Each structure stands twice: as structure tokens, then as C-alpha cells.
A and B are shown apart, each in its own frame.
Chain A
Amino acid sequence: MFKVKVYITLRESVLDPQGSAVRSSLHALSYNEVQEVRIGKYLELTLEKNENVDARVKEMCEKLLANTVIEDYRYEIEEVVPS
């Protein structure tokens, strides 16, 4: 089995209105040291063992999970042994 953690964020060049709103809120609470907030998505996938796990996950990200026009993605693959 594999556990895959996928992180999707808006590209650096794309304005993140949610992040800006949260930054303003943090400033209102006096956390003035916060310079930028970027909000993204975190997905956890559990996969059956297969040989092409990296290529398959990349394909899933490109095809469905991320919109590569505005979003970047990265992922971590971890092999888990069922107990």
C-alpha cells in the first residue's frame, strides 16, 4: 500500500484572495509579523501497491486534482505496510 500526500496551491503569480483575507485577519489580531498567507488544498490518497505509482499520481494531479493553469502541486509518496 502507498499513502500519497498531495499539496495543491495557487501559483505564485496568481493572487490568492482567501490568503489575503486571512492575513488581514491575523494582522487585526496583532500578528503583524505575518507577511503572506497562501491557502491551498491537502489531499491524502491511499493506493494499492503498483509499480508506476509516481507516474500514476503525477497523471492524477495533471488530469484532475490540480488545474495547472493557475495551480502548482507537489506530492509525497510513502509506502505503508498494513499491520
Chain B
Amino acid sequence: MRFACIVFPGSNCDVDMYHAIRDELGEEVEYVWHTETDLDRFDGILLPGGFSYGDYLRCGAIARFSNVMEAVKKAAAEGKPVLGVCNGFQVLLEAGLLPGAMRRNENLKFICRPVTLVVENNQTMFTTGYEASQEITIPVAHGEGNYYCDEELLKTLEANKQIVFKYKDNPNGSISDIAGITNEQGNVLGMMPHPERAVDQLLGSNDGLQLFKSILRTWREAHVVTS
């Protein structure tokens, strides 16, 4: 499987993402600069965390107009897995690939620590490696991770099982403890916690690795013909 790791000016978790795919998952990955317009050669798209365009105006607001985002939209429409972590999640929200918006953390503090997530939906292409309701440890590092949507959208997200991860102890004030959601089709996942920083026990947890393994397994089931 071949992954694109999209790099915006200000991305700073791109190296972690690259490491997770190449060294821990053992798959191909390539850094793709935001000016590129063609992602057809990739099977999966990764939008890493960081501070794209310095978070000027709003997190993700400027990155969404990068050339590469048209290609990300195309890949998403084709059903390819698209994973946005932290700032990548914010970019997906601003781009309209995921619904809702992000606000400043409720306590106004930048939060940087491991948190416990509950796997709400283990039937997505990103989570088949987890048990239903499994509790996993993944670090967060954000100042604006307070997910917001109105009541109507919340009901839709619940009905469609688009809420994939919830915080056990909500650190940022997100509505309904939401830590990660997918689009309606289920192939675009946005999450504030960093699974790429939890891929080896040396880092304190390897609970994030199953997310990448799940993507790979789903892709292999669809693309690799076994005799």
C-alpha cells in the first residue's frame, strides 16, 4: 500500500506519520508538498498534525485552499482512506470533507498528554483491529480541539455511527466527548489524538498502530487477490 503524507508550511507531525507508516507498518510512504495536484498514484492519504500556515485566521482555514486539497477531495470521493490527525482534522473540517467546526479548548490551555479513548465504532476501515468499546491510550497535543456541531448534526452522526472515538475523560470540552469522526461514507477519518505517536511501547503506547494496520487490512482485502 502506498501512502501520501501531505506537508503544508507549518506541518510538524509529518515525520512522526512517515515513521509510523514506513518503520512500524512497513508500507510505502512519500512526503507530498501542498503545491502538488495529483495524488492518483497513492492508495491512502494522510494529513498530519502541526500548524499549517501558522494557524493564521483559524486552524486549517488557509490550508484548505492549497492546490493539493482538490486532489485530496478527489481521493476521498474515490473511496480511498483519508486520515486527518489534529491539524489534519481541522483542515478536513474547514475543507468540508467532514462536518462541524473546532473551537478553542474549553479551559483555554494547550493540552499535551496521553488520554484514554473509547472505540465507539470498530466497524470502520480504520478500526477493525480494535474491539468494540475498547479503551486505548493515545496522546493529544492541541489548543483548539473542542469539537462543535449543532444538535441536529450530532443526531445524524450518532445515527450513522460516524463517531469513531470518544474521550473517556473529556479534556477539551468537545460536544458529546467526541475525539474522532468519519464522513458518511466512512472513508475519511478526522481525529484530534495522535495515533502516529503511539506506535511503539518505547513511546508509552502502541495502541495507535492498530489504526494503521486496520487501514492496511481493509485495503488488502479489497485489492490483493489471493490464490
**Which positions in A face B, CB cutoff 8 Å?**
10, 13-15, 17-18, 21, 64-65, 67, 69-70
A17-B173, A64-B65 known; A70 and B103 CB under 8 Å? yes
B173 & A70 in contact (Cβ 8 Å cutoff): no
Say yes or no: is B105 at the interface (Cβ < 8 Å to chain A): yes
A14 & B65 in contact (Cβ 8 Å cutoff): no
A64-B57, A64-B65 known; A69 and B101 CB under 8 Å? yes
Closest to B58 in A: A67
User: How many residues on the B side are at the interface (Cβ–Cβ under 8 A)?
Assistant: 19
Closest to B104 in A: A17
A17-B103, A18-B108 known; A69 and B61 CB under 8 Å? no
Q: How far, in angstroms, from A48 to B103 measured CA to CA in the complex? A: 33
Partner of A67, one of B94, B104, B173: B94
A64-B57, A65-B57 known; A70 and B108 CB under 8 Å? no
B100 & A69 in contact (Cβ 8 Å cutoff): yes
Closest to B107 in A: A17
Q: Give every chain B residue within 8 A of A21 (Cβ-Cβ).
A: 108
Taking the nearest CB of chain B, how far is it from the CB of A67, in angstroms? Answer: 5
